[in-house]
Amino acid sequence: MALDSDALMLKAEIEAAFTDVPYPGDDNLVETKIPEDLAAAEFFKGIKWQDWKEKPGQLFRTLPTGYLFFLSPAAFHYYLPLYMILVLTDYDASDLLAGETVSSVALGGIDPKLRACTERRMSVMTPAQLKVILKYLEFFKQEHGMDFEPWPIDPAIESLRKAICNA
């Protein structure tokens, strides 16, 4: 799939913003021992996102949806760029991961527990990372927003704008 210049520039910005995020370690991929956490930890164990940035579809082909929600804040911080790059570079192959990626950064959720979890995940992001996530969401909305009306694109964008102003 050939990417337009805007998508290529955004991919480069994502890579640059997250390049220095350290691998969280095999023992810090998840926070609990529930089956879903353990499955996510097993899948991501030892995987460096930078090794897959040119071929994320190959890695995610076998990934069940939902794993992004089970990652620890450090692992979420580390793997979010790979999810964004997958959706950006191979939207058709991203399937439900596109909506999962948007939902994972939406701070406007009604459930206080989910909101608190999202706030913890997003609190580790630098201002530059928040800005590139915002740029990604705006690009996603422009290109594919109508495909995912149930997902909270607008609340995610608005909450990120507020987070950037408060950073």
Separation between Cα atoms, residue 10 and residue 113, nearest integer Å: 32
60-77 pLDDT, tens digit each: 887 777 788 889 999 999
Residue 151 has pLDDT above 70, yes or no: no
pLDDT of residue 23: 98
Separation between Cα atoms, residue 154 and residue 68, nearest integer Å: 20
Cα torsion angle, 43, 151, 117, 18, sign: positive
pLDDT of residue 46: 95
Tokens matching residue 23: 């691998």
Please give the mean pLDDT across all residues of the chain.
Answer: 87
31-70 pLDDT, tens digit each: 999 999 999 999 999 999 999 999 998 888 877 777 888 8
Q: Which residue has the higher pLDDT, 78 or 152?
A: 78
- Residues with Cβ within 8 Å of residue 82, at least 6 apart in sequence: 49, 52, 53, 56, 59
Sequential DSSP letters for 17-81:
HHTTPPP--GGGS-SS-SHHHHHHHHHHTT--GGGGTT-HHHHHTTPPTTHHHHS-HHHHHHHHH
What is the three-class DSSP state of 101? helix
Q: Which residue has the higher pLDDT, 12 or 162?
A: 12
Put simply, whether the predicted model's pTM sits higher than 0.85 gets the answer: yes
* 53 in Cβ contact with 85 (< 8 Å): yes
